[in-house]
Chains A and B, each alone.
Chain A
């Protein structure tokens, strides 16, 4: 590489950069045009594949339709109907429960990444192996876990074998155990991606700093939260954003392959309900309304992460 003096990527350590304004008007105009040209491809993509569909979704949500035939304006009917539909309520309650597991999604891969990063014997092997579940398509994951989690399946056999009889529950049959089993399967699918992300972040922290943190006698957890996490902040933030925006979407193919929202409505999530309502119940208008409600739900939950992303991307290091 021609440029080998790349800067320390940790913002806090960067030397303060005095901002100079070159008040050169023609240059500025040229830069504006250049900037506009550079953002154009991305803008086109976002508008065509996200905004236009969203707007069309909003429009459809005000229509009553049936059997893929014609549709008519229905005012806010679909929205008022949602208010007293128990399935809709359950799906959003379940979504909240899933979102509540996010801290686990953030911490577990972090701990594993740290353990690996301490150069345990065979760490390269672990690093490679942990990533494997992420590459396995959900269709297989679903079939496999229906077998593993069966009441008389291998997981329960193992639990009974080691004397943990009371833990050998009917994983996929319970009111709450089904939902959390599903989350666990999803977490298992994705933790390797998290470990990989954290390892990439850890690689940017100078060895000596970590070494010192590991050796200074503080307990593992204290070291973790007082030394490592602050230095890993950008990576933790990135992974958190990824999880927060992805967790519900990641669960979708698993619900499809594993429980189809059941038993009853125990694992029903808004994503799946949109799909069911639109394609199985042929109620496009209502499906769109639930989809818009889902969008609002995700948007409200994401206010903080979007704000964070925005400041990360636009703040000048001072």
Chain B
């Protein structure tokens, strides 16, 4: 509280100076002419796509101009954080669906009953809503779909004496395939354990074998203990990936992007678990390896009979919402409504090279790559994505623990203990309890 009063005093003291130097910003809602909407984004889908967004939107909305504030993804929190605490800044902002968005929900205007209307053509938008429940408060709209599949290099599989049309479907088959690939002198699974990639890319694929959707919601609410046998089993299997030597040796000290993905791109690895939309997907790998050499499969099932084992851990991509402090909420709402629409869905497919959420996107625009078609098949049976349920401290502890387990510096039990401590440290999850 006293922090705020200090801020007030400071602001007051500086108001004169600001007036003199003419640097005081302010809402210009009242002025005539087009409204300028400031949009904070890390440009998911790339610069080209966002240029198209600006051009197309402005063409259809002559009364609104977009001013894109593009910030590199890995520096986004530093820029966004102060905006939120000071309740000032852009009119529209982005956050990843799931916990990242919920952590910052104080910044966004709830869509209320408008949500259903805005999102009527989207396959799903629950990641933008509290607890992944569309009947609860929703804070913005997504337009892309994201998740992890296992890409494989058919040439490497063939060289290892494996059938490139029948990739391993179970954990044991995967182990056998890895032994064969290693014998042929290649890395089996290209992996980088630095940063949050393990949490968002690998954890949900293992977790699907042990958790139900209710468990995943409990994970989100912080009600599922990391000492629960189910979660300990997930950690054990994650550990196996590296301790059994399936991954590259430097996995603990590299990031998945670009290092891990590059191992796969240069043909040195049989498998890589990466995403379906945006970069390092079927499109980039198809270009590097040849569309005919690139295979796609679901991560191998540990327990094929588990309820979610044959599903796709899907999550909406970036969610765009209107900020609480915006003076131009109406224009902001118009913009995010357009983002959810067909026109943007088609731009997303064409320039963002991703999976669209809008049902009405012209099917003729979709790529014909065999890998892409296979992905269409896999995403048809979605389930909740366990990775985005992890809080910042949990995602961090997952990566660090996995690195240490790989290097033999930590046991899985100790890892689970650290995960539990991270959960208890997480401000968000403490709050929901």
Chain A interface residues toward B at CB < 8 A: 52, 55-56, 59-60, 63-71, 73, 143, 146-147, 149-152, 170, 172-173, 175, 178, 256, 259-265, 275-276, 278-284
Contacts and interface: CB of A to CB of B under 8 A. Distances in A.
Interface stretch (B214-222, B250-258, B298-306): B250-258
A264 B78 contact: no
B259 interface: yes
A59 B6 contact: yes
Nearest to A267: B253
Contacts of B7: 56
Contacts of B74: 256
A262 B400 contact: yes
A189 B78 CA distance: 25
Interface string B404-429: 10110110000000000000011110
B427 A65 contact: yes
Given A146-B253, A146-B254, A173-B252, A279 B400 contact: no
Given A59-B2, A59-B6, A259-B253, A281 B396 contact: yes
Given A63-B3, A68-B85, A173 B427 contact: no
A146 B256 CA distance: 12
A203 B396 CA distance: 50
Given A68-B104, A259-B253, A279 B78 contact: yes
A59 B259 contact: no
Given A63-B3, A146-B259, A173-B407, A278 B81 contact: yes
A66 B399 CA distance: 22
B195 interface: yes
Interface in B370-407: 391-393, 395-396, 399-401, 403-404, 406-407
Contacts of A70: 106
A146 B195 CA distance: 14
Most B CB contacts (10 A, CB to CB) among A66, A70, A152, A170 go to A66
Contact of B1 (A73, A147, A276): A73
A281 B400 CA distance: 15
A151 to B, nearest CB: 5
Most B CB contacts (10 A, CB to CB) among A172, A264, A275 go to A264
B65 interface: no
Nearest to B406: A263
Interface residues of B, number: 49
Given A63-B3, A262-B252, A282 B404 contact: no
Interface of B: 1-3, 6-7, 10, 74, 77-78, 81, 84-85, 102-107, 193-195, 249-250, 252-255, 258-259, 391-393, 395-396, 399-401, 403-404, 406-407, 409-410, 425-428, 430-431
B404 A284 contact: no
Contact of A66 (B194, B406, B431): B431
A67 B84 CA distance: 9
Contact of B392 (A172, A173, A263, A281): A281
A265 B258 CA distance: 22
- Pairs of residues from A and B, 7 with the lowest C-beta to C-beta distance, nearest first: A66-B427, A172-B253, A263-B403, A279-B77, A264-B404, A68-B84, A67-B103
Given A263-B403, A282-B428, 13 more contacts: A64-B427, A66-B431, A67-B106, A67-B427, A67-B428, A68-B104, A172-B252, A263-B193, A264-B407, A279-B81, A281-B427, A282-B427, A283-B427
B396 A56 contact: no
Contacts of B392: 276, 280-282
Contacts of A71: 3
Given A150-B254, A173-B407, A263-B407, A281 B3 contact: no
Contacts of B400: 261-265
A256 B75 CA distance: 11
B425 A262 contact: no
A256 B112 CA distance: 39
A175 B409 contact: yes
A263 B399 CA distance: 9
A66 B428 contact: yes
A259 B400 CA distance: 11
